[in-house]
């Protein structure tokens, strides 16, 4: 699933109307992480292509880094839940 999601980072990052409507009510820190991920992963994909890497290798590298951003969001949500429970 991460590999397939990584291919989306070929396209320029943008927050268009459908995405903006889905983001309503989402924690601002999660939105900040997601925007940072969009920008960084797009840059990484094109950087690797520019260095002569095959597109499949670039997408795999992006998928690996995407997992790190997913981890960051999960840690933030878990910390929020433990603060609320305490």
Residue 7 has what pLDDT? 96
Domain ranges within the chain, ordered by starting residue: 2-85
Average pLDDT, the chain: 94
Query: What are 11-51's pLDDT values in tens digits?
Result: 999 888 998 999 999 999 999 999 999 999 999 999 999 99
Write the DSSP assignment of 3-28 as a string of letters: HHHHGGGGSPP---HHHHHHTTT--H
- For tokens 């290798």, the residue is 57
User: Residue 86: is its pLDDT beyond 80?
Assistant: no
Residue 2 has what pLDDT? 92
pTM of the model: 0.85
> Backbone dihedral region of 74: left (phi > 0), alpha (psi from -120 to 50 degrees) or beta?
alpha
């Amino acid at each position: 699933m991460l590999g397939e999601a990584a291919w989306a980072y070929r396209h320029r990052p943008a927050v268009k109307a459908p995405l903006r409507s889905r983001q309503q009510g989402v924690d601002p820190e999660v939105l900040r992480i997601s925007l940072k991920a969009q920008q960084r992963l797009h840059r990484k994909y094109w950087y690797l292509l520019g260095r002569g890497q095959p597109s499949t290798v670039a997408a795999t590298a992006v998928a690996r880094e995407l997992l790190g951003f997913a981890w960051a969001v999960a840690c933030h949500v878990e910390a929020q839940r433990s603060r609320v429970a305490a």
